Structures are given as structure tokens and as C-alpha cells.
Structure 1
């Protein structure tokens, strides 16, 4: 009878550990995606399109002339022409979702996640800072990082 009590105790402890682990995992999940105002959503959809088409020039055209990209394990890239050069090897499937945004006059930001296809969880996160120029939202800085390091990092 004593062995059964120990087994119940171990099972209870195991279930407690599992529930803590699951609650920690749930707390670390990406926030729920939100809808953006049309003019901000255009920035994300254009970014996806140009990325998927491996079109570095069009990607760079989404940035202000003095824009930045801040990528993991790479130096800071400043300026539209340097951004175009940095994005020469860009391409592949890309889905951007927004978790939060703010606009104040002619400045704003979008915080979100990115993934390779709609049905998958986000594999990374980003923040875009924006400036409105001539009535159009432009990216002033793009900073992203993966949720987990690549195998070769």
C-alpha cells in the first residue's frame, strides 16, 4: 500500500511540473495578431511582396533615404543604397503579422512577428519605426531577430 502512495505522490509532482512548464510555454507564445490601419498594413504587405520576389531595390524603396536595418549578427546598415545592397540575397516565403502599433503625427511603429507560412507559429519578431513622408509611411528602422538561434549560430 505504501508503494502506491509513493506512486501517487510522484504522479502528482510530475503533473505539477508539467502544468508549470505548460503555463510558462503559454506565457511565451506570441501575442495575438491584430489588424492595422490600411496605410500601415500596406507597408507590411509591400515588404512581404518585395521579399518574396527577391527584389532588393523595391525592398529598399520602402525605407527613408536615411533608414536603418538592424539584423542579428550583422553590422548596422544605414542608407537606402546600403539597404538595397544588404538585401541582395533576401527572398523566400514571408508572412508578417502585427501585434501592436502606434502613430503620433508623422511617426509611428509596428511590433510584430514573422514566419515562413500562415499556418506556422512566428519564428521571429520585429519592430519597424516609421515616418510619414509626402503622405506615405516609410520605414526608418527595421530590427528583427529569431525566436531561436539558427543551427549554425
Structure 2
């Protein structure tokens, strides 16, 4: 019986600590050093975003690429990506890599982002990349979401 009470106390303590623990700020993951050809994808994205150049952003994608943004329907194809990015951007965007890998002509970058003078990451992303021959890496899919907690309804 004593063991059962102790187990019950542990379960209750874990349940009570759970929400509080979930609200603690996450530890910042370290940057991952990218090879120059992958880093170019991030820097070109930042530059096109900063200037609000939807055409340049879309050009970073494959012809049949995807954009998967929070609270938006999926977008597919370079023309649709350009239309989706029209009117967005024109603020300082900083992208940093957390992990990456390449196998043949396919790769990925997992990262975090922030805008302007914000301290710390405001969101995270995954880029799936493709390369045709010896050409530059292109984004096949870009999925991002904010790190902000959901709004109460």
C-alpha cells in the first residue's frame, strides 16, 4: 500500500510539473556549419526576403517545389510560390542551420529563423533540397512554423 501511495504522489507531481516544464524556454541548439553550396541557399533566401523580391525567392525553388507555411494552404510550383511570396518580406530575416545532410542529389537543412532585431529564434524550418547534375541546390520544399505558443481561443 505504501508503494502505491508513493507511485500516486509521483504521478501527480509529474502531471503538475508537466505544463510548467513545457513553458520553460528551450535551450538554443548550436549552429551547424554548412558547406558553401548549401549555405548559399540560406543567404540567397535571406537577401531575396530582405528586398521583398518574390521572383528571386521563387527562383530558389525547383519548378515543382512546395511552400508549407503556418496557417496557409500548401503552395506548389514556382509561379504559385512567386504569387504566394508577393507582398511578403522586406524585413531582415536571419536563417541558421541546426542540421543538414546530403545524399547524392538530395539533401535537407533543418534550421531556425528570426526577424529584425529579435533576440533568439522566433521559428523553425526544414528545407528539402534537390540538385540537377552539377547545378546549384534548389529548394523542393520549405516548411516553416513559428515558435510562439498557440493563441487562446
Shift of 1:96: 0.1
More displaced, 78-87 or 116-125? 116-125
Structure 1: stretches of 5+ with no match in the other structure: 1-16
Number of positions where the alignment pairs a residue of Structure 1 with one of Structure 2: 133
Which entry has the higher C-alpha Rg, 1 or 2?
1
Report the Cα distance in structure 2 between the residues aligned to 1:150 and 1:54, rounded to whole angstroms: 27
Q: List 4+ stretches of structure 1 deviating above 6 A.
A: 150-153
Describe how 1:89-104 pairs up with structure 2 within 5 A.
89-91=87-89, 92-104=91-103
- Residue 132 and residue 45 in structure 1: after superposition, are their counterparts in 2 closer, same or farther (change >3 A)? same
2:140, 2:112 → 1: CA distance? 18
Q: How far apart, CA to CA, are the structure 2 residues paired with 1:115 and 1:53?
A: 16
* Alignment match of 1:70 (pick from 64, 68, 74): 68
RMSD: 2.4
Query: Is 2:145 aligned against 1:145?
Result: yes
User: 2:32 maps to what in 1?
Assistant: 34
What does residue 58 of structure 1 align with? Answer: 56
TM-fit CA distance, 1:53: 0.3
* TM-score normalised by L of structure 2: 0.79
Matches within 5 A, 1:106-121: 106-117=105-116, 120-121=119-120
| Distance in 2 of aligned mates of 1:83 and 1:150 | 26
- Aligned to 2:98, what secondary structure does the other structure show? strand
Which shows bigger deviation, 112-121 or 141-150? Answer: 112-121
Change (3 A) 1:121 1:143: same
**Long gaps (5+) in structure 2:** 1-16
1:119 deviation in Å? 6.6
Q: CA offset at residue 25 of structure 1?
A: 3.1
